[in-house]
A and B are shown apart, each in its own frame.
Chain A
Amino acid sequence: MNAVIIGLSAAGLSCLNTLLRFSPDTNITVISEEKYSPYCRPLLTYYLGKTLQEDQMSITNISAYPANTHFFFGERVEHINTSKKSVMPSSGKEIHYDKLLIATGANAVKPDFYDEEKRTFTLRYMDDAKKVEQYLKENATVVGGGFVGIKTACGLIERNIKVNLVVSSPYPLSMILDEKTAQFIEKDLKEIGIAIRTGDDVSELKMKRNTVKVSLKSGIELDSDVVVVGKGVKPRVDLARKSGIYIAQGIVVNEFLETSAEGVYAAGDCCEAMDVVRKRPWVNALWPIAVEQGYFAALNMSGSHAPYPGSIGMNSLKTRSFHLISGGVLKDEEGVAFFEKHFPRKNQFRKLAVRDNVPVGMAFYNNPEDAGIFINLIKKGMQLTVDPRKIVSGEASLMDILKPL
């Protein structure tokens, strides 16, 4: 069997490794645009924070792969011929496939004011980080109160760089958290020295000698060596679209992660698979989910019948002062009940959203030990066997929750 994988980040690599594990005889061709050996994108903030060096971000050793794997780095796929079952890379040599994985990932969203001339960058690729790095001296402005923005700000603070974090929403992590949970995060971020400016946004950027003058809508002006934008990502679906594969927000797949084209699968940030909590297809652009989808895609590509159980939005945000684990949806919607408990002495907070006795969202602040259990309950859409009040208060025991698993 000939398998072709487009993209060698989380999903692509996971698919590659899984294929080799379960169908070691497959002839696998990997085509990647990156000129670097595969690295972990979420680690870019750590790289920027100098916690990690470039070589520590590598996630695989290409030279160790067997002879039936073929790598094409720094190449783009221009077209997929779904009827002929072949791909056309930029080098021009057509490659035939029996099974194809599209793992083209996502691009960072670039706002109107984005301008590399004005030292304003997103943080998606190694080169982005390197560009930011070359200007970094004392001050940085980070735009965006999501995970990337906060992690970038925290990384820079660790390097004693003064950071202004501009958040357009009234509170950070507004896409994931409710206001109450977010307040803990906001307080902690302030305490470690990040100047966080909520409800504000960039109105104009100007260069003045070696400084970016950042004008905010509130009228505040910030002097900055560099501006980093973390405004989310958008699935990269151009290739799939022009190849006639059905696209919605991302590449549409069935429960076996197969696209509208037979033998063509999609996984990772470009793929719109089922979201368990939202109960509809959704792009949850997250590293662990991409790895998981790559795994399931590989199983199906190698002939197994392995339905993908679906994903939920989730993340872990750990800084010097706090650890937040969130999952599912914490939005106030009809039919959703919230349970929360704050432990001021332990500086812990737990919140759980439940619909029809099924947990649909959670945020555990400084309480990572049991968090995974609830993430799993949400993922499985399982009925709670324990009073949610007792879960958030910590009275319910692990055993009573795990028992039905």
Chain B
Amino acid sequence: MKVVVVKPERCVGCLQCRFACSVAHSLSNSPYAAPYESILSKPRIHIGLSNNKEPFPNKCRHCDPAPCEMACLTKAIFREASTGTILINPNQCINCGMCAMACPFGVIRYHIHSVNKISAHKCDQCISRQKEGKVPACVEVCKCGALVFDDYNKIMDKGTDEMASLVYLGIRSKELEKGTYTSLTAYKHKLQELNRR
């Protein structure tokens, strides 16, 4: 079983994953047509920013047990057994907001899904693309290795929180090699510090 693993130290903040995510969840599934659809598809990956202006990809970790699934009153949120992916059935969602309350990572948004129907949105690990043998759209467009599609079993034994954080941040502590992007990050830290002077 594979999951999207996030390596934030690799993220350059290009936002291509957001665009690809929107396209992958649009009706047309086309980067040219998606921006013209009457109900615009919304990205399910969010790029936050640290105080030092480091970009920070934030998306659903498909926790187990999943607090959003537990909080969902209508069982619109469920775990797809074969991939372990937490999915939302938009037709069952009543937009009660419980999942946003429950999600420890703040990745759930509410958008119009079809005419007159708002539902909770979050990452579905591109389950339909996976069925076609493709990797999730965000992973496909990430050329920096900040989003990778990797085996889940390595971290399977851990407890929920620990695991969710590991999927997410475990690789963080890895020593950063000196590179061009590191110089840019260092420069940005400096700018931040100066502006706070």
CA distance A371 to B97 in the complex (A): 10
- Docked-complex contact B105 and A327, CB < 8 angstroms: no
Q: CB distance A368 to B65 under 8 Å?
A: no
**Complex interface: chain A residues within 8 A of B74 (CB):** 40, 43, 52, 56-57, 59
Q: Which of B95, B104, B165 contacts A318 (CB 8 A)?
A: B95
- Residue A186 at the chain B interface, CB threshold 8 Å: no
**CB of A323 closer than 8 Å to a CB of B:** yes
Q: Mark A369-401, 1 if CB is under 8 A from B, else 0.
A: 111110110000000000000000000111110
* CB atoms of B106 and A370 under 8 A apart: yes
Contact A375 B104 (CB under 8 A): yes
A74 at the interface (CB under 8 A from B): no
B101 contacts partner chain A, Cβ-Cβ < 8 Å: yes
Which stretch in B24-32, B49-57, B133-141 binds the other chain? B49-57
Residues of A within 8 A of B8 (CB): 399
Q: Is A372 a contact partner of B103 (Cβ separation < 8 A)?
A: yes
Question: Is B92 an interface position by the 8 A CB rule?
Answer: yes
**CB of B71 within 8 Å of the partner chain:** yes
The residue that B101 contacts in the complex, of A43, A56, A316, with Cβ under 8 A, is A316
In the assembled complex, the Cα of A51 lies from the Cα of B74 at a distance in Å of 12
Does A43 lie within 8 Å of B73, measured CB to CB?
yes
**What residues of A have a CB within 8 angstroms of the CB of B101 in the complex?**
288, 314-316, 325, 327, 368, 371-372, 375
Asked if A288 and B65 sit within 8 Å, CB to CB, the answer is: no
Query: Interface readout for A212-223 with B: 1 if CB under 8 Å, 0 if not?
Result: 000000000000
Q: How many A residues touch B, CB cutoff 8 Å?
A: 40
Which residues of A lie under 8 Å from residue B98 when comparing CB positions? 287-288, 316
Q: Quick one: which of B56, B75, B96, B169 contacts A316, CB cutoff 8 A?
A: B96
Given known A-B contacts A287-B71, A397-B50, A325 and B94 have beta carbons under 8 A apart: no
Question: Counting CB contacts under 8 A, is A317 at the interface?
Answer: yes
Q: Which residue of B lies closest to A398 (CB)?
A: B48
How distant is A294 from chain B, measured CB to nearest CB, in Å? 9
Q: Judging by beta carbons under 8 Å apart, are B102 and A397 in contact? A: no
Closest to A286 in B: B71
Q: Is B161 interfacial (CB 8 A cutoff)?
A: yes
Q: 6 tightest A-B contacts by CB?
A: A376-B104, A288-B71, A372-B103, A318-B97, A316-B97, A399-B56
The 23 listed contacts between A and B (C-beta, < 8 Å) are: A14-B70, A42-B73, A43-B74, A288-B67, A292-B70, A316-B97, A318-B95, A318-B97, A323-B100, A325-B97, A369-B109, A372-B99, A372-B100, A372-B103, A373-B105, A373-B106, A397-B48, A398-B48, A399-B48, A402-B58, A402-B105, A405-B161, A405-B169
A: residues with CB less than 8 A from B are: 14, 40, 42-43, 46, 51-52, 56-57, 59-60, 287-288, 291-292, 295, 314-318, 323, 325, 327, 368-373, 375-376, 396-400, 402-403, 405
